[in-house]
Structure 1
Amino acid sequence: MRNYSEVEFLEKVLSIPSVNGKQDTGKLAEFLAGYLKDCGLSVSLQKVDENNVNVITILQGKTKEQVIWNGHLDTVPYGELSKWHTDPERPEVKNGRMYGRGSSDMKSGLAGMVYVLGQMKRQGYVPRQTIHFWGTADEEKGGSGAEEMLEEYGIPKASLLLIGEPTDCCLGIAQKGCVWLKAGVCGKTSHGAYPEEGENAVMYGFKLYETIREKLHRYSHPLLGKPTIQITGIQGGIAPNMTPDEAELCMDIRTVPGIGKEEILLWAKEEAEKYRKYTQGRVGIEFQIMNYRKAIETDEKNPWVQKMQHVIKSETGEGTKTGISFFTDASVFMKNRDDIPVILFGPGKEQLAHKPDEYVEIKTYLQYIRILRRLF
């Protein structure tokens, strides 16, 4: 395999489609594995399912200290193609930017990590820490790649979990969690002209949503702001002139540290019990957690935070700490532990993720690579 330049390598990674649910991640995983092997590293490919493959390699360091680098291989779909000014499947460089699906989220972070790791091995450089690289599939949907990695390999005792998600080379030390809550509401039907004779399941579902929203807004985080909640799906109703006796609501809840699924479920069940008593048992609600990712935060005084802030500032002139509102594979890897600091750090821009005309600034991508080299 040829010895790519930094930009050529990114272009190659972006030119291998890996849309979640459309293409598998196997071709991209094989390309990354081939590059790392050509650089002299031993690589494993872990089959997650028919469509998803993980990439694992280790670069041995001088000490027993271990760090984990993680990036996901999959992207979201392209969306409406007419809204793109470039082909999302073919990377294109214009005005110092490289366009293409995944350029910000997060193939630029992925490519930078793999490139630096391969070049360290190719050049015979031995880092201080042993670096575990985990390239995961299916991050954009169910996180099955991270789950499979966790089940087969577990998490080593590491001093850092570094994830190349888009932060525009800022220091990401916090991320929101996520709860997808489904509520099934049972009420009582009646003629639309006599609503007092029924119990409107849709209205009780909306009332539940408003109560949870009010409780969430009592919380805030200096980097993440307030938690959010929105109804992302609703079904209910029989006819325009009938009180609906059944409803199903899906709610997307983004949490901050200090709020987990336990708190959300407690609030929801307490409210449901109030409705049951008030209506003398005519209203009942059942709940289901469709997805849960916990919120994550790393102490600003952590040595890695201090070190990275210094290196980033000397390279870019900025050392801004930030938080991100979307969840990452960190919430899978760290779901049962809190002893490994998590830092989100990548060259992409969060605000471009999942949108048409997604791009990464080539200057920022090259800065990212230089920072990784200086850190490790």
Structure 2
Amino acid sequence: MIREAFKLIDQNEVIKVVKDLVSINSVMPPHNVEKEIGNYVLDYMKSKGVESEIQQVAPERFNVICKLKGEKKNPAIIFTGHMDTVPVSEDETKLWNTDPFRGEIINGNLYGRGSTDMKGGLGSAMVALGTLSEHGIVPPNDIILVATVDEETIMLGSKKLINTHFIKNAKKMVVCEPTNLELHPVCRGRTWAEIKLKGKTAHASVPKEGINAIDKAVTFINRLNEYKIPHDKHELLGNSFWNVTEIKGGLGPAIIPDECTITLDVRLVPGQTSQDIWLQVGKILDELREEVQDFDSSIEIIETRDPWETPVNDSIVTTMEKSMKNIDLPILYGGFLGTTDGTELRKSGTGIDTVIFGPGRVELAHKENEYVSIHQLVEAAKVYIETMVSFEE
């Protein structure tokens, strides 16, 4: 083990890399936005002597996979971050105090879209891995840095990587999403579906001649709001819940609508599966068919991401604890409220034990004046490099 590898981290380089990443506009949509930032990651890692290649995901969209070979033929550790960001709307832009794509530094914080979610974590991991290679340090295990596309939508990048040779021998993973430098060994699940309620058109002046699909949707939504999802509350994540996040219906102001579609977004805690949720929703719809005349519905499940939890005594968690202790960083635990690429990547092989740890606060993401603390960027890079050199299994 290399002692005090964290002292090799150059704060100015961390700042430069993250500032460069933030300065590259990679908002979704459009759907080829990661190309420029992907080339930046590729060029930077190659300049540090790290073996790097791309995996094509879609036209002009590719993951970047960087690998530093370890001393032994032990399972590899993945460090992962995504390259895309959510958009900045015209109205949101007016609320920014800086240019969202300049990476300005004010009072020790680096501002810009993606600074927290999650170019800060990605950049810190890049510098950590690049620093090892630049100093000729060979870690005990192979280290793989994965920069993905499309995380902010349906995670095409991470799905493309599952069970490929790029991460074939990986057994452990650190997801560099913003956790405010807390260790998050547990993550909520997420699933969502479109539920269509059917009706029959008629002139709005004679509503009894039709069947109002929007009325059926309201009945269903009211039933959802009354229903308590059966589950055990999780110590770090709380309760599971669902929200109606979209509603579409109607053909015109004088027409009884014959169709209404709602999107139901569900957040899960360990002990539940997406399948459990949709069986419960199906049961509610069946009950309404029995109770309500002309109640006709269908479900189209769009995405399923089940929750997961890594035991706190797992080697990747305990190694990160030691890394944090080495740099005098308080060891705090939490649970990740969203979902990440790690949810998909951990499905590879027989499963990859995962922990989420990174700079920034998730509540600052996806909104105006997003920023990440310079101090946290550097601390994250130090924890990453310490973990890279000390993990051995």
Residue 359 of structure 1 is aligned with which of 371, 374, 378? Answer: 371
Partners of 2:133 and 2:115 in 1: CA distance: 25
Report the secondary structure of 1:115's partner residue: helix
Using the size of structure 2 for normalisation, the TM-score is: 0.86
Task: Spell out the pairing of 1:201-240 with structure 2 (5 A cutoff).
Answer: 201-212=213-224, 214-216=227-229, 218-237=231-250
Residue 96 of structure 1 is aligned with which of 108, 113, 116? Answer: 108
AA aligned opposite 1:73: M
Answer yes or no: is 1:76 the counterpart of 2:86: yes
Partners of 1:317 and 1:161 in 2: CA distance: 20
C-alpha deviation, 1:70, in angstroms: 0.7
Residue 310 of structure 2 is aligned with which of 298, 310, 319? Answer: 298
Partners of 2:348 and 2:78 in 1: CA distance: 17
Corresponding residue for residue 7 of structure 2: none
Task: Spell out the pairing of 1:1-376 with structure 2 (5 A cutoff).
Answer: 5-22=13-30, 24-65=33-74, 66-79=76-89, 80-150=92-162, 152-153=164-165, 155-187=167-199, 200-212=212-224, 214-216=227-229, 218-237=231-250, 244-279=257-292, 282-335=294-347, 339-376=351-388
C-alpha deviation, 1:98, in angstroms: 0.7
Q: 1:207 to 1:318 in 2, by over 3 A?
A: farther
Q: 1:25 to 1:362 in 2, by over 3 A?
A: same
Provide Cα deviations, 1:332-373, integer angstroms capped at 9, x if missing partner.
223477632111111121111111111111011111111112
Gaps of 5+ in 1: none
Provide Cα deviations, 1:236-293, integer angstroms capped at 9, x if missing partner.
356778865532111111111222221122112222222223346x212100012222
Partners of 2:42 and 2:250 in 1: CA distance: 53
AA aligned opposite 2:18: L
Q: 1:89 to 1:241 in 2, by over 3 A?
A: closer
C-alpha deviation, 1:156, in angstroms: 2.5
AA aligned opposite 2:197: V
Given that 1:294 and 1:335 are in contact with CA atoms closer than 8 Å, whether structure 2 keeps it comes out as no
AA aligned opposite 1:9: V
Partners of 1:100 and 1:227 in 2: CA distance: 32
AA aligned opposite 2:13: S
Q: 1:339 to 1:238 in 2, by over 3 A?
A: closer
Partners of 1:48 and 1:328 in 2: CA distance: 18
C-alpha deviation, 1:317, in angstroms: 4.0
RMSD (Å) for aligned C-alpha atoms: 2.6
Provide Cα deviations, 1:97-155, integer angstroms capped at 9, x if missing partner.
11111111110100011111111111100011111111101111121111222264364
Given that 2:62 and 2:149 are in contact with CA atoms closer than 8 Å, whether structure 1 keeps it comes out as yes
C-alpha deviation, 1:5, in angstroms: 2.0
May I ask how many residue pairs the two structures share in their alignment? 373
AA aligned opposite 1:49: A
Partners of 1:6 and 1:193 in 2: CA distance: 66
Q: 1:273 to 1:194 in 2, by over 3 A?
A: farther
Partners of 2:358 and 2:102 in 1: CA distance: 21
Given that 1:310 and 1:319 are in contact with CA atoms closer than 8 Å, whether structure 2 keeps it comes out as no
Given that 1:109 and 1:347 are in contact with CA atoms closer than 8 Å, whether structure 2 keeps it comes out as yes
Corresponding residue for residue 3 of structure 2: none
Report the secondary structure of 2:334's partner residue: strand
Partners of 2:73 and 2:55 in 1: CA distance: 25
